[in-house]
Each structure stands twice: as structure tokens, then as C-alpha cells.
A and B are shown apart, each in its own frame.
Chain A
Amino acid sequence: MERFRFLIWRPVQMLPVLLGVTLVTFVLVRSLPGDPVRVLLGPRARPEMIAATRHQFGLDEPLPVQYLFFLKNLLAGDLGRSIMYRAPVFEVIAERLAPTFLLIAYALVLSILLATTFATLAARNEGRFADHLVRGFCTAGLGLPGFWLGILLIMLLSVRLGWFPVSGYGETWLGHLHHLFLPALTVAIALAPVLTRNLRATLIEQMGADHAQAARSRGLTEGEVFRRHVVPNALLPTVNLLGVNLGWLIGGTVVIESVFSIPGLGQLMVASIFTRDYMLVQGITLVFALTIVAVNLTVDVLTVALDPRVVL
């Protein structure tokens, strides 16, 4: 348990990072040309109406004051009000949270299944046909752009064969899984090759490692050596790679949600940027940042759990 002591301090260390995220988002989103109030009220709004609405959202204050207000509200757990939805940012985000996280989890599970299966297959048959086939798939998967592949999958599996819905999120749990299969698969086809290649390489390296040889000399069969010694040692680098890629994946949902019309955070993010909904953009960015912090913390916990030598 001593080795997990970092769990107490790491979140505290993350506070300055999150503060930095809020500041950068705040400045960036306000340096965009355009004005949320003009977008909201349309081109024919009268100047006094614009001024009144600006005052209502506190947008007439100087920028530093606005930022301090934002921080003050944040400490009270209030992310502010969305200008477009005329509702608390927190509620708007909460409504869209589930589809995005389900999509990410779904894609993650598919990627891990694909990667472990293919990497094991390739590593156990190094240099033979199965290995070459897997490596070919990997190269192809890495080369295909996600949105293009997504459209292709929709055309084949949804339009032609009618197996999966074209878009949307579904009503029931089963419906969600059914609707999200294609988008998750699209993400997995991009992510799995990265993981497969990495895992294949470390598996092969560990199969040739001295400790595996020593285990063979103690009479373990090839399968036992693989399961007991090779896999536990090979997982570490791949888990860390997965952590890095998960950050990228969270950003990548923006494209996938647009292609498959999934009512998730990514889509909301795009819409809120278009309408210059400052508060909403800040809120979503903060959620994404928190997620990435949580992912990194999870990877750290896994690393410590998998490798007794690591002390954080």
C-alpha cells in the first residue's frame, strides 16, 4: 500500500494543471472573432438590447474580472450559464456526457480485444503467415483516415446490409450498444493497430528474454511461459501507450460524433464553438481535461500494480 501513496498527492498536484487549462481556454475562446450575443440575437438586434444581454451574462466586465468570476463560481461548483441553451452549463453537459463516455469505453474494449488477439497471434507465429497478415492489417488500419472509414462502414453495413443504424444513439442499453457499434469500431480500427504493433513487439522481446528462457529450463511449456511470464511483462509498455492514446481518443470523438450524429460532448463542443458560447466551451474543455487527468492517474495505478519495481 506504501507504493500507492501517490494517490493522495497526485490529485493535489493536478490542481495547477487544471487551473492552467481554464486560463488557456478562457483566453483562446475570447480571442476568436465574433460575439455570442450577436449570434444569439441575430443581425437586426438593437444596440441597447445587445448591451442589456451582455450585461446579463457579465460580458461587459473587463476580462480579468470575468475570469475571476468564472473561478469563483467554479469553486462553488457552478460552471455558469450557457448563452445558447439558456440553461446551466452543468446540466447541458450532463445530458450529453453518457453517449461520449459510452463511445470511448466501447471503442476501448473493442481496441483491447482486437489488439490482444492479433498481437498474441502474431507473436506466437513470428515470421510466419499469420504474423505477416496481422502486420499488413496494422499498416492498413494506420493508413486509413477515421472519418472516411466511418462513412465506408455506414455505406456497407448500414445502407447495404441494414445490420446497424446509420446514426443516433438509441433508447435502451441494448439500443445504445447497437447504435454505437459502428462508431466504436471506426475508432478501434484506428487505435488497435498502434496497440497491436507495440504489444507484438514487446511480446516477442519478452519471449526471448532471459527469464523466459530460465522458466523453460525449469520445465514450463511454451504456453505456460507465455501466460505466466511473457504476458505480465509485456503489458506494461502497452498500458502506458494506451494511456497516451486515450487522451487523443477523447479529442477524436469530436469527428466521430459528427460523422455518426451522436448526441455527445464532441458534437456539443463543435456547436458551442460555432455559437461562441463561451461558458459552454469552457465547461466542456474542463470536463475533457478532468477526464485526461483521471486516465493518467488510472495508468499510473495500473503501472504500479503491474510492476513491483515502480515507485511513484
Chain B
Amino acid sequence: MNELLTVAGLAIDVLTREGPRALVRDVGFRLNRGEALGLVGESGSGKTLTCRALVRLLPSACRVVAGKVTLSGAGDLLAMDERALTEVRGRRVAMIFQNPTSHLDPVMRIGEQIAEGLILHQGLDRSVARRRSIELLDEVGIADPAHTVDAWPHQLSGGMRQRAMIAAALACEPDLLIADEPTTALDVTIQAQIIDLLRRLRGTHGLAVILVSHDLALVGDFCERVAVMRAGRIVEAGETAAILAHPRHPYTRELIGSQPRLVPPGHYFPVSGAPAERAPRVKLGGGAPLLEVADLVVTFQRPRRVLDLVRRRPATYVRAVDRVGFALASGDALGIVGESGSGKSTLARAIVGLVTPSAGAIRLVGDERETPRYRRVQMIFQDPLSALNPRLSVAQTLTEPLIVHRLCRRAEVATRVAALMAEVGLDPALAHRRPRQLSGGQCQRVGIARALALSPAILIADEPTSALDVTIQAQILNLLIRLRAERQLALILISHDLEVVRRVCERVIVMRHGRVVEEGPAERIFAAPQAGYTRELLAAIPGTRGFSGGTPLAWQGVA
């Protein structure tokens, strides 16, 4: 085989005030021409650092302390001088990144960013480089390349930005593309398109790819070989199919077990490699609904400029939520699924009362004066860190709602806070920590405890795990499943991840452009989707190849 890249004994330190700390140790792998390697791991596992070290673009506090990175025809990249490196970057090894928005220069036209490598390093004429940019944009599937070449990054959608970034990376015909979480910031259908594009480019350009991802299913679809990283080391590596079917390392097993698609409905997500446990049955209310939403409309006014006022142009509105209706009984779990911009978060905010609906009704059972809305509906948020006041400790955060709403006497506050922390599985020792000193999972537990402090009957979780790693996601979802059963909570789970929703909720609403496109029992929707859009969403879920063969691992322990 034709070897392209060999990494051996790579070690990276970060310089801290207390001296150097090891982040990556003894990482090694080989990559042949045209091959795809998946680098899988959770945040902090060192996968991104490893990739950046390959082209020596580490953050300034990090240093490569040992190792060799040999690129065929170029020698050891780690021993090269800066000048020679610029010859490798872009021409031999190119990179694309997680966030195409921040990785494109906002004040430079798309075409110029694609062409600059061609002009500066291959000495191409401006007009020739421009023509090449248009060709590249066409190749990455941009519908109107002759027009897009002169567009600014902010005029493109997220998916188009990622395509433009791929075009810029491919401009100088590299042999290796390092793709660092290239689809994490994108919607699931766009994600599928980008992955298809990368697959096609591998074929046409003979491109080798290192795909860095936390998403094992995605890697399983795309890569022939995979390396699993944890705490700066590769714990397991080999053929993708073999590893997915017979993982040897316990961490790999945990990672695979946490994949929502492998968890049977009505079960807890397996944690630390243990088989999935059956979740307690929830008594479904069935009878009188707790919450009724009827023909709900939420509109936002587009900003008006002075000129519009002068010319008496009428204000224009966007319908974020368009005639949505559903009912929720005690103990129900309703999943709301849709891509960004579908209005699912606005719907949640309207129910909690954070935005005012323009039309329609939100009816909550019970007397508003006796128990106001915020005592009956509570929400937990997507970004657990920014949803907490950074200046308040955990105990202070949980005390606040109790005091403000006079739910208990001062003397009882401490015991109530301790009970809440215990209920969401927070170590009492964390009571005086501030959000920044907590992990993402711990922050989300605080957010859940804060919502529970008011003993709501309905809990709305807006993408509660999309900022978290898979194993942490499993823990948080397990917590929600348990709380729902213990407290007879009605749960509304908003997610872009259909597999998660399917495992937690009995009923699902699919939203698009503010409207409900499909509604029904979760199992029916997944087995026989009616709306074209639902089918599209389901088809876009990664993992349809990697996990397809044989019985999924996690099901084996289930009777």
C-alpha cells in the first residue's frame, strides 16, 4: 500500500502556571493514500490537538514535546522550519473546521478566500484563480457558483459556508484533508449532505481524510479505520467494522453503548458499559390534559429602518410558530423535533411565557392566582453554562427560587437545597462551587435542580444534551427519565436528535418552518413516517451503515 502519513509517539504538553501538563501522550497511527481514518473521542480527549499538531497549528500555550509526523515526500513535519511548513499546509495537508462561520474571514469575499492560496503560492493570475474558484464552488455543490464567488460569508447559510470552506481547502489539491468535527454545528440533513460531499471528493481527488468527531455513528459511516482516544491516548484502533462489532476496551464499549440508536425504548441509557436497564414504567395520565396549546402563533417583527418609517412601509413579520396545537397530560413525554429555525425553541419559550404569542391559546390546568405559570412550567436550557449566573454558587442558584417565591422558611432552605442536589445526583461538596468550576454535565444537573425547585408539573427541556458528550448525554437523559417517573412529570423534550427523542418520548411532533408537519406515537413515526420531511430527517441520521450489521451490542443484555 501507498503510505501517506505516519505519526509516532506524539506527545503534547500545555504550559500552565504550575508547569507543563500532559495533554496528549504516545499517539501514533498510519494513513495510506486515499484512506479515511476516524479519530473519535469526547471533548478533552486530545483529538483536536493531535490534528492541529500535525500541521503545527497548536494554541500558543501548547508544545509538542515528543514524536514524529512523517509525510511522504516532505519528511518530518515537526522538525521543519516555518517557511517549509507553509509549503505543506494547503498544498499537501488541508484542514476544515467545526465552525465554518468563525473560520471564514467575515470581511473578505468567498472567492478571494478560496483563491488566495492559488495566487500567493501557485502564482496564478487573478482572473485564472477566480475561474478556478468558481469551478471549485461548483464542485462542492454550490448552486450558483458564479454569483457566490463574490458573496460575503454572512450572506451564506451554515451548510454553504462549510462547502465554501471545503472549496478553499481543496484549492491547492492537497493529499490529506483533516476534517475537525466538520458537521457538528450543522443540522442533520445538512450534515448528511456534507458527509456525502466529502465521500464524493475522496473518490474524485483520491483524498485521504482524517475525520475528527465525537460521533461514533458518523465515523462508522465514513471511515475504514478508527482510533478511539481518551485522556490524550489512543485506547483502541483498527478496522471500523471490527471495532464497532467487537470493541475490546471498556471505554469503547461505553462509547458505543451510549449511542442513542442502540438503546431500546423504555430503558435507561447504559452507563460505563453496563447493559441497558429497564426504566420504571410511567403512569400515563390519559385523562384531563395539564397543558393545551391551540392554534398558537408567534410572530417577530423584522427590524425597520428610518427609511421604512418615512415611506410608511408596513412592518413585516416572520411567523416563528404557525398555528401549532397539542395537548399534554400528566406523566406524558412529548418530543419536539426539527432543524434550526423550525420554531421549536420559540414554541417552548412561548409556553413558559418568555415570549408573547400573537394569536392562539396556551391553557394550563389550575388556578393562575393559586399557582402561577412559572410554578407549573419550568425550562432547562441548551447551553448549561450560560444558563447559570456565573457569580452565584450552586447553593445560591438553588436558593434563589425558593426565597423569591417564598416556598419555604429560611431555616429550611439548606435542607431543601441539599435534597434537590441529591435528587439530581450532585455531590454535596459542590454546593459552594461556581458554574465555571463545574463540568458541562454538572452544570446541566444544576439547571435541572433549579427547575425542580419550584416543583413544576411540566418540565420543558430545550436541547438539554446537545452541548454535551455522548456519555454525559446518556447520564443526563437517564436523570430526566428517572425524574419523570418519580415526580410524575410531564416532559417536553426538544431535540434535533431523533434517536434521543425516540428513546425518551412516547409521542413526537415534527416541526418545520414553524408548522407541525407530522405528529403521532414515536414508534409509528419512526417505523412509518408519513411526511416527506420526516423521511428526509430519518434518512439523514448517520450510523445507517456502521451499525447495521448484526445485533446491536447494547441490546444483547436485554431480555
Q: Which A residues form the contact surface with B (CB < 8 A)?
A: 5, 9, 13, 208-211, 213-222, 224, 228-229, 232-233, 306-309
Contacts and interface: CB of A to CB of B under 8 A. Distances in A.
> Interface centre among B106, B120, B154, B165, by most A CB within 10 Å?
B106
Given A217-B55, A218-B89, A306-B107, A224 B95 contact: no
| 10 tightest Cβ-Cβ pairs between the two chains A and B | A219-B90, A210-B102, A217-B95, A218-B90, A219-B89, A214-B103, A308-B152, A211-B105, A210-B103, A218-B117
Contacts of B95: 214, 217
B410 interface: no
A309 B57 contact: no
B535 to A, nearest CB: 35
Contacts of B60: 208
B307 A5 contact: yes
A228 B89 contact: no
Given A9-B307, A218-B171, A220-B86, A213 B107 contact: no
A309 B106 contact: yes
A222 B120 CA distance: 13
Contacts of B82: 221-222
A13 to B, nearest CB: 7
B107 A307 contact: yes
Contacts of B121: 219
B57 A213 contact: yes
A216 B57 contact: yes
Given A220-B116, A229-B105, A210 B99 contact: yes
A255 B87 CA distance: 56
A213 B172 CA distance: 17
A219 B172 contact: yes
Interface in B67-124: 82-83, 86-91, 94-95, 97, 99, 102-108, 113, 116-117, 120-121
Interface in B359-381: none
A217 B57 contact: yes
B103 A219 contact: no
A303 to B, nearest CB: 11
Contacts of B120: 219-220, 224
B306 interface: yes
Given A229-B108, A233-B105, A308-B152, A221 B86 contact: yes
A221 B90 CA distance: 11
Nearest to A222: B82
A218 B104 CA distance: 12
Contacts of B57: 213, 216-217
A27 to B, nearest CB: 29
B462 to A, nearest CB: 26
Contacts of A215: 105, 113, 116
B310 to A, nearest CB: 8
Given A214-B95, A306-B107, A308-B152, A219 B87 contact: yes
Interface in B194-251: none
B121 to A, nearest CB: 6
B168 interface: yes
Contacts of B307: 5, 9
A211 B103 contact: yes
Interface of B: 55, 57, 60, 82-83, 86-91, 94-95, 97, 99, 102-108, 113, 116-117, 120-121, 152, 154, 165, 168-169, 171-172, 306-307, 310
A217 B94 contact: yes
Nearest to B171: A218
Contacts of B113: 215
B117 A210 contact: no
A234 to B, nearest CB: 10
Given A211-B103, A229-B108, A306-B107, A218 B116 contact: yes
Given A213-B103, A214-B165, A233-B105, A219 B152 contact: no
A144 to B, nearest CB: 34
A9 B171 CA distance: 43
B107 A233 contact: yes
Given A214-B95, A217-B57, A308 B107 contact: yes
A173 B154 CA distance: 47
Contact of B117 (A220, A222, A233): A220
Contacts of B310: 9
Contacts of B154: 308-309
A215 B103 CA distance: 8
Given A214-B165, A232-B107, A309-B152, A209 B102 contact: yes
Contacts of B55: 217
Contacts of A233: 105-107
A9 B306 CA distance: 8
Contacts of A306: 107
A218 B96 CA distance: 10
A307 B86 contact: no
A249 to B, nearest CB: 27
A218 B94 CA distance: 6
A9 B310 CA distance: 10
B102 A211 contact: yes
A13 B94 contact: no
Contacts of A221: 82-83, 86
Contact of A228 (B104, B116, B165): B116
Contacts of B94: 217-218
B157 to A, nearest CB: 15
5 contacts: A211-B104, A215-B116, A221-B82, A229-B105, A307-B106
A53 B306 CA distance: 47
B102 A218 contact: no
Nearest to B99: A210
B150 to A, nearest CB: 11
A13 B116 CA distance: 42
B242 to A, nearest CB: 32
> Interface centre among B105, B168, B171, by most A CB within 10 Å?
B105
A261 B82 CA distance: 55
Nearest to A311: B305
